[in-house]
Amino acid sequence: MRRSLVLFGLALALLAAGCGSSGGGSTASTSSSASDGPVTKVSMKNIQFNPQTVTVNVGTTVEWVNDDSVSHDVTRDTGPGPPFSSGSGNLGGGDTYKVTFNAPGTVGYECTGASRHERDDHRQVDGER
């Protein structure tokens, strides 16, 4: 019973903290080239990315949208493109971040605004363990 309460408390703290602090109302963009190509949207919701990775072609723009009630950020973990980062916990609910790719491949990304322990939990939720 006590372990369940501790786990519940940890889960609530993680949900309350999200990947960063409170924020909102901004749109950030990094572009490696001008794009009239396709746009792929990634949702940040329930402390997860959906989808967890995206496969892009040259000219594809990926738009991350924070559909969560807590702040998040997005940083390239693997794959092609510039070493992009939206910042640290700076995307509040409704905020977006876009990157246009000049090389094809599968892009992995993570939220870095959380503490290392929270990022490990975030990855576990995302099925990365």
Look at residue 64 and tell me whether its pLDDT is greater than 80: yes
Check residue 121 and give its pLDDT.
Answer: 45
**Those residues with Cβ within 8 angstroms of residue 95's Cβ, 6 or more apart along the chain or in another chain:** 23, 24, 25, 26, 27, 28, 65, 66
The domain that contains 28 carries what CATH number?
A: 2.60.40.420
Residue recorded with tokens 């409704």: 94
Going by the DSSP 8-state scheme, the letter that residue 69 receives in this structure is S
**Those residues with Cβ within 8 angstroms of residue 6's Cβ, 6 or more apart along the chain or in another chain:** none
Q: What share of the chain in percent tops pLDDT 90?
A: 49
- Beta bridge partner(s), residue 1: none
**Those residues with Cβ within 8 angstroms of residue 25's Cβ, 6 or more apart along the chain or in another chain:** 92, 94, 95
Look at residue 114 and tell me whether its pLDDT is greater than 90: no
Check residue 77 and give its pLDDT.
Answer: 93
Is residue 85 very low, low, confident or very high in pLDDT (cuts 50, 70, 90)?
A: very high
Tens of pLDDT, residues 18-54: 454 444 443 344 444 445 789 999 999 998 999 999 9
Question: How many independent structural domains does the chain possess?
Answer: 1
| Prediction pTM value | 0.67
Q: Is 117 helix (H, G, I), strand (E, B) or coil?
A: helix
Check residue 126 and give its pLDDT.
Answer: 43
Which residue segment(s) compose the domain that 77 sits in? 2-125
Going by the DSSP 8-state scheme, the letter that residue 87 receives in this structure is -
**Those residues with Cβ within 8 angstroms of residue 65's Cβ, 6 or more apart along the chain or in another chain:** 41, 42, 43, 44, 94, 95, 96
Mean local confidence (pLDDT), 101-121: 75
Check residue 31 and give its pLDDT.
Answer: 42
Spatial distance between the Cα atoms of 129 and 127, rounded to a whole number of angstroms: 6
CB 110 within 8 A of CB 118: no
Check residue 79 and give its pLDDT.
Answer: 95
